Each structure stands twice: as structure tokens, then as C-alpha cells.
Amino acid sequence: MANESVISVMDPQTELEAHLEVKSEVTLEAKSDANLKVGGILKSNSDPDSNDPNSNDNGYEPVHSRSPLFYDLFERKSELKNQTHYCPGCGHGVAHKLIAEALQDLGLQDKTIFVSPVGCSVFAYYYFDVGNVQVAHGRAPAAATAIKRSGPDKIVISYQGDGDLAAIGTAEIVHAANRGEKITVFFVNNGIYGMTGGQMAPTTLVGMKSTTSPWGRRPSNEGFPLHMAELLATLEARVYIERVALSDNKNIMKARRAIRKALEIQRDGAGFSFVEILSPCPTIWGKDPVEAKRWIVDKMIPAFPLNAFRDRRLEMPVSGNEPPQRSVADVLGITPRVAAKSVAQVSPSKGVNSSKPVHRFKDVKIKIAGFGGQGVLLLGQLLIEMGMREGLEVSWLPSYGPEMRSGSAHCHVCLSKERIGSPLISHPDVLVAMNEFSLRKFAHEVASGGVILYNGATLPADFSAPEVQVVAIPAAEIADKLGSTKATNIVMMGALLEETECLASGTALSVLEDKVKKLDLLEIDRNALTAGRLFIDEQARVGAVSQPDGFA
């Protein structure tokens, strides 16, 4: 298709508008959208008489550029090597480019966190070299709220399609806007569910066919298209709401300005900003990229008028009854002062050291695995409670199936002197394997030089883990003899504390005393803790001598 048409573009270097006759628009558009590598930006300073094949008759030279904010390569699948995953002519690529350039120009790359949705743009994190989070369908404004509130100096972007934002995520966007969250939302409205093959979206036009409205959308049956920009503009707390379109270069330049403005508003801490972007989806619309853009002009813009619906900063009323700002540790009563006290309070008569615990590690990563009902998750919770009382940073990440009993379960426990980056542990220092299944499943993950504590009298004959120390502890039998198999996890806890010296057994006792309400079970647990420690001292490590701090 060799359409002759005039496009006008803005040279970002000179801010001058230039005009160019394009003879093979399809090629230019397809490359531009699919590869994100052809900017379609024109230089006005080339020599009009030059024989450069890239120069056109007007002396303008296309400049192939990619924002340095994008990763160099979009490596995903071998067949998509170095291409984006978007279809040719898709508006997502253009929207990405405008956002990347704005972030770059405003110098915001290092403080940006991009929240990707579910939809065709689910993989936005393949492209943007910024902080990235991908969230469940429709939940991006809620996640963005949490991220922004915990890092108010960050630039948080919620990027969403119309299925994501206006269907499953209607509540999240309305409430985020109503709260005036200081986030920026880019709402890519292509009137359809792209990723799942063309179901009707809330924004599907009246009469438009989709797989779920095969005779065309009928207001009498499916309702009218939802106008999100207008709807949000009725709320009090919003600051900036504009609808733009990726239909032609003039409108793309307007979209570019709106995207910048929305980010500037967030940068200045002014409040909630929202840009709805009418965007082509040639594949699902069954059109080529050029027809798709024209269709935006002919059909979408009349139904979704382009407008700045709201552009006014809001002074939030000061309530005068702000809640006191207390730290989490203070609220939970686990400030270091309290922690030190609670350890020191444990009576020496119980054979426990009363001095402040010394941690000889930077961090310890522990994975505890077994069947549901073996106290796997509880053991992790007890350890983090102990860690908190000893003034450590802690995290606990459970993973379990739907079964209440007997399904497999595991949890990740981090104890650290420094803030914890991620609660997920790939290579634990210690694996507590409560059964053979967990031993076999997770042993290979343990870091070289680490420890496996196995709940069993002996190791399976064919099991070996040459790079780690493996200790078999008949914990279930020991707990049985003490009066309750339920205390198996506490035997393992005693063994863990004795073997790794990560936490003081005095803290363990104080935690058990606070948590176990039944006195008879508490007594068994106390004995189980001691039995686990003694097993390591007397049987697993014969000859170890107890030190004054309670460790061997």
C-alpha cells in the first residue's frame, strides 16, 4: 500500500514542527510501532541536496532512535528475538515510547516504579529499565497506591488496558482517583480485550462486533460504552484528567504533551493524574495499521471526545486530627528496648542465658517444609517472632496448598541485621525438612556449606547432599515420648537453634510462654525445645560442651 499523505512531527531537539510526505506509510508505521526502534523523528538540519538515500525530497532525515530508558534488547522467545511482543501497528508500543521519553527528559528513570497490568501490556517490564511490578488483573491502582504511600518520593505509574481498568478493575481506579492518590495512570483504551482474543470491553463502541457481542454491541443488552475520563472527572480529588488519541502525528504529539504533564504533576506532588489514550489494536479490529488509525479518527474520537476534562490543582483540606505517626515496631510493642527486656526477663533459673543475644551473622535464610498439620508455618512464625524480639529484621513467606491437612506446605524465613530486600528465598542456608518428600524436593536448593535438618531417625539410603551438612533427628519419636507428636516442630526448633546459633533459646522460651496458652502443651514444648538442643549436642555432635550463652 503506497499511500501518499502528509504527517507532521515535532522534533524534540528543536521543538519545531516539520512536515514530511510519506510514500510508504505502512512500512514506516509498522516498524515504528512494532520495533520501537524507529522514532519517526525528523532532523531538519540535513543537506537537501545530499544524495543520502535516507534523505527525502524536503531534506528531512528520519532519525532512528530509541530512548535509553528502554532495555537494549527485548529478549523473550527465540522467534521474537529483539522485537517487542506487540503486533505491528499496536498503540502500546507508541504509548511506551512516549512514556519512556518523558521519563528520560524529566530525569525520573531512577525513581520510577512501573506497575504493569494483565492484558497485552503484561510484559511492559521487558522494556522499561525502571522499577517494575506486575500485578493481578485490575489491581494496578491499588498496588500503585501501596507503592506510592510507602515511597512518596517515587514516581509510580499504573499502566492499564480498558479490560483491566474499566471492567475487572473498576473499583480500584475509582477509589484511587477518589482518594486523590499521587500516582499517574495511563489508560490504554482500544475498545476491546486484546490479549484474550477480542471479547467486548466496557469501552466497546455501540454496534462494534466482538467475540462476545457477535451481532454488535447493543445498549439494550450490554449497556453503553463506559467513559472513564468523564466518570473520574466527576470526583473531587482528581487533579488532571485528559483523553488523547494515537490516531495521527498531531494527536500523538498532544498525547506526548499530556503524558509529560501527568508525570510532572506527580513529580510535583500535586495529586492524581490520568491520561486516557485511544489506541489502535489492528489485529483484533481486523484492520491494517493505517486503517486502524483512521478508524480511531472516524469512529472512536466521536464516541470518546478528546478533551482535558480536569486540569486544576486541589488544596486538600487539612483535617487537624491527624493520627499520631508511630513506627510499626512501636505499635507492635517490639521496640528494641522492649526486645532486650523480654530476653533479659527470662529467668536464669530456667537454665537460660539472661544477657542480650549476640548475632554472629549478617542474615540467615531458612526454609521449613513438610506436610500441612506438622506445624511448618507455625515454626516459621515462632522464629520471626523471636527474631523481632531480638531486634532483627524478619520476614515470613508461607506457601501451601488448599488442603488444611496433609497437603504440602513450606515457608521462607529471613532473619537479618539489615533491611530485607525480598522474602523469597532461592538458596536457603538452612532447610528444615519435616518429611522425606520435602528433603528430596528442596535439598538441592540449599546453599553450599548450608545445613539440612531432617525429621527422621536416619536418612534415606539413596540420599546424598555432598555440599551441605545433613543432620537426621528423630524429632517425631522424641516428641511422642515427651507426650505429643504435635511438639515435633519444637524439637526441630531446638535442634535448629543449637545447630545454627541464630537465635537465643531464652528468646524461644519467652515466645513459647506467650504463644502457647495450654499449660500442659507448654510444658511439653519446653521439654521438646531442650530435647532438640540436647540431641544436637549429645548425639549429632557428641562431645560438644555447653557454653555460658546456652550454645554449644
| Least distance between ligand SF4 and beta carbon 285 (Å) | 8
Which is closer to ligand TPP, CB of 161 or CB of 387? 161
Residue 164 interacts with, from ligand TPP, ligand SF4, none (CB under 5-8 Å by kind): ligand TPP
Distance of CA 420 to the CA centre of its chain: 16
Report the partner that residue 87 touches, choosing among ligand SF4, ligand TPP, none (CB closer than 5 to 8 A by kind): ligand SF4
Q: How far is the CB of 195 from ligand TPP (least distance, A)?
A: 3
CB neighbours of 324 closer than 8 A, spacing ≥ 6? none
Beta carbon of residue 128, minimum distance to ligand TPP (angstroms, whole number): 16
Among residues 456, 515, 455, 526, the alpha carbon closest in space to that of 484 is found at: 526
Q: Which does 90 bind (CB under 5 to 8 A by kind): ligand SF4, ligand TPP, none?
A: ligand SF4
Question: Residue 137 binds which entry of ligand SF4, ligand TPP, none, with Cβ cut-offs from 5 to 8 Å by kind?
Answer: ligand TPP
**C-beta closer to ligand TPP: residue 184 or 210:** 210
Nearest CB to ligand TPP, comparing residues 186 and 193: 193
With CB atoms as reference, the residue minimizing the distance to ligand TPP is: 161
Nearest C-alpha neighbor of 503 from the set 363, 347, 341: 363
CB within 8 Å of 461: residues ≥ 6 apart: none
Other Cβ atoms within 10 Å of 325 Cβ, number: 6
CA 529 to chain centre: 38
Q: Which is nearer to ligand TPP, 121 or 342 (CB)?
A: 121
| Measured torsion, CA atoms of residues 51, 56, 60, 63, in degrees rounded to the nearest 10 | -90
Q: For the CB of residue 249, give the shortest distance to ligand TPP in the complex, in Å.
A: 22
Strand order in the sheet with 155-161: 131-134, 112-116, 155-161, 184-189, 272-278, 238-245, 307-311
Q: Which does 547 bind (CB under 5 to 8 A by kind): ligand SF4, ligand TPP, none?
A: none
Nearest CB to ligand SF4, comparing residues 188 and 473: 188
C-alpha cell at 451: 545445613
Taking the complex as a whole, the smallest distance from the CB of residue 296 to ligand TPP amounts, in Å, to 14
Q: Which of 163, 494 has the CB closer to ligand TPP?
A: 163
Cα–Cα distances in angstroms (integers) from residue 251 to residues 32, 43, 65, 263, 316, in the given order: 16, 20, 20, 18, 33
Which value, to the nearest 10 degrees, does the dihedral of the CA atoms of residues 431, 433, 439, 442 take?
-40
| Whole-number Cα distances in Å, 495 to 101, 105, 538 | 56, 57, 11
DSSP calls for 55-98: --TTS-EEE----TTB-S---SSGGGTTS-SSPTT-HHHHHHHH
Q: Which is nearer to ligand TPP, 192 or 453 (CB)?
A: 192
Instruction: Provide the minimum distance between the beta carbon of 70 and ligand TPP in the complex, in angstroms, as a whole number.
Output: 19
What is the separation, in whole angstroms, between the first and last Cα of the chain?
Answer: 81
Q: How many whole angstroms separate alpha carbon 404 and alpha carbon 411?
A: 15
- Nearer to ligand SF4 among residue 244 and residue 334 (C-beta): 244
Which does residue 118 bind out of ligand SF4, ligand TPP, none, counting CB within 5 to 8 angstroms by kind? Answer: ligand TPP
Q: Quote the least distance from Cβ 246 to ligand TPP, whole Å.
A: 13
| Residue partners of 456: CB distance under 8 A and separation at least 6 | 435, 436, 439, 472, 473, 474
Minimum distance, C-beta of residue 397 to ligand SF4, in the bound complex (Å):
33
**Nearer CB in complex with ligand TPP: 28/231:** 231
Q: With respect to ligand SF4, which residue has the nearer C-beta, 90 or 115?
A: 90
163 binds, among ligand TPP, ligand SF4, none (CB under 5 to 8 A by kind): ligand TPP
How far apart are CB 359 and ligand SF4 at their closest, in Å?
51
Contact 414, 432 (CB under 8 A): no
CB 304 within 8 A of CB 189: yes
Between 196 and 426, name the residue whose CB sits nearer to ligand TPP.
Answer: 196
Residue 15 CB, nearest approach to ligand TPP (Å): 31
Find the shortest distance in angstroms from Cβ 55 to ligand SF4.
Answer: 32
Q: Which three cell numbers stand for residue 496?
A: 535448629
Quick check: 232 and 274 in contact, CB under 8 A? Answer: yes
Shortest spacing between CB 159 and ligand TPP, in angstroms? 10
| Torsion angles phi and psi, residue 163, rounded to 5 | -65, -45
Q: Residues in the site for ligand TPP, rule: CB under 6 A?
A: 118-121, 137, 161-164, 168, 190, 192-196, 201
Identify what 283 binds: ligand TPP, ligand SF4, none; CB under 5 to 8 Å per kind. Answer: ligand SF4
Type and span of the H or E element at 294: helix 289-295
Give dist(CA 131, CA 258) in Å, integer: 22
Cα diameter, the chain: 97
The DSSP call for residue 298 is I
C-alpha cell at 515: 504463644
State in angstroms the smallest separation of the CB of 86 from ligand SF4: 4
Q: Which lies closer to ligand TPP via its Cβ, residue 60 or residue 193?
A: 193
Binding site for ligand SF4 (CB under 6 A): 86-87, 90, 92, 120, 190, 194-195, 281-284
Nearer to ligand TPP, 201 or 536 (CB): 201
Selection from ligand TPP, ligand SF4, none that 162 binds (CB < 5 to 8 A by kind) is: ligand TPP
Q: What is the 3-state secondary structure (H, E, C) of 447-473?
A: CCCCEEEEECCCCCCCCCCCCCEEEEE
